[in-house]
């Protein structure tokens, strides 16, 4: 695997206690970055931090749907260090149901975490990046945001919103040395699949021409490049990693 240079960089990874977020954190640490993982689950955060046992890994208990909580955490971090990289990864899929049967509470929760959380974190960290004239933001969207998944209207809508946010913010920041991009992974074998019915998981797999789920190291390599200084031109873009499911 290619080794990326993230030395002297500090990254925040939301939803970092497990799944995509934790694997990205491991890759960043291997590349020399200082990492803050954010998650709502303190038990999983503590467990992950102890297992990795790296002095460059820190954690914060953060609910990304809580603006004031994010604001305080960002303030605490920038009082001691700069923030170079933001990975907006925190997300939930929610239950599978037709739109007309979708529970309002579930809908709001999915939109708040997946879309509003990405907005809140970006809104609070971007001014710091502008001040330093440097930043890399990677938003973890989904093929569901491009194609739309039946019985997952809330998740599909939220991820489509993340894609739109990425395009707008990337253009707004294009005059700075700040890159904002999104990736649209297909399903991977993480705990997020546990939130879905077996039938829905099999339906997702059937849509992937490569005939398998995404490997975590494939995703982390793409995120690492997008987060590095090597990515000096691409911004406001959507990078597909769906095994051929979405070819645009």
Q: What would the pLDDT profile of 33-56 be if each residue is shown by its tens digit?
A: 999 999 999 999 999 999 999 999
The span from the CA of 43 to the CA of 204, in Å, is: 30
pLDDT at position 248 is: 78
CA distance 223 to 140: 9
pTM of the model: 0.94
Region label for 21, one of left (φ > 0), alpha (ψ between -120 and 50) or beta (otherwise): alpha
Topology of the domain covering 10-241: Rossmann fold (3.40.50)
Phi, psi of 240 (to 5 degrees): -80, 135
Predicted confidence at residue 193, as pLDDT, reads 65
Query: Quick one: average pLDDT of 205-216?
Result: 84
The more confidently predicted of residues 228 and 212 is: 228
Residue 113 has pLDDT above 90, yes or no: yes
DSSP one-letter string for 167-194: HHHHHHTTTTTEEEEEEEE--BSSGGGG
**pLDDT of res. 236:** 98
List b or e across 129-153, with b for residues whose CB sees 16 or more CB atoms inside 10 angstroms.
Answer: bbeeebbbbbbbbbbbbbbebebbb
Query: How far is the C-alpha of 110 from the C-alpha of 169, rounded, in Å?
Result: 21
Catalytically active residues, by annotation? 155
Q: Where are the domains of the chain?
A: 10-241
Q: Is pLDDT above 80 for 206? A: yes
- Between 125 and 193, the higher pLDDT residue: 125
pLDDT band at residue 17, thresholds of 50, 70 and 90?
A: very high
DSSP run (H or E) holding 58: strand 57-61
Closest of 76, 113, 111, 74 to residue 91, by C-alpha: 113
Compute the CA torsion angle 26, 194, 192, 212 (nearest 10 deg): 80
């Amino acid at each position: 695997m290619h080794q990326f240079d993230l030395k002297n960089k500090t990254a925040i990874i939301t939803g970092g206690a497990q799944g995509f977020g934790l694997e990205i954190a491991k890759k960043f640490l291997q590349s020399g970055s200082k990492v803050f993982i954010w998650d709502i689950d303190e038990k999983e955060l503590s467990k992950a931090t102890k297992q990795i046992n790296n002095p460059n890994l820190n954690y914060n208990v953060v609910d990304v749907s809580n603006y004031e909580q994010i604001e305080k955490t960002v303030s605490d971090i920038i009082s001691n260090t700069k923030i170079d990289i933001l990975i907006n990864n925190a997300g939930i899929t929610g239950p599978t149901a037709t739109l007309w049967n979708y529970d309002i509470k579930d809908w709001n929760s999915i939109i708040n975490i997946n879309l509003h959380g990405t907005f809140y974190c970006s809104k609070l960290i971007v001014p710091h990046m502008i001040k330093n004239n440097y930043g890399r933001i990677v938003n973890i969207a989904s093929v569901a945001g491009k194609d739309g998944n039946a019985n997952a209207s809330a998740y599909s809508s939220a991820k489509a919103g993340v894609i739109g946010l990425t395009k707008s913010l990337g253009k707004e920041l294009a005059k700075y040395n700040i890159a904002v991009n999104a990736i649209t992974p297909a399903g991977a074998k993480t705990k997020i699949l546990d939130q879905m019915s077996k039938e829905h998981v099999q339906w997702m797999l059937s849509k992937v021409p490569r005939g398998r789920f995404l490997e975590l190291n494939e995703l982390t390599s793409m995120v690492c490049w997008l987060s590095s200084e090597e990515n000096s031109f691409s911004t406001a873009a959507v990078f597909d990693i769906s095994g051929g499911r979405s070819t645009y």
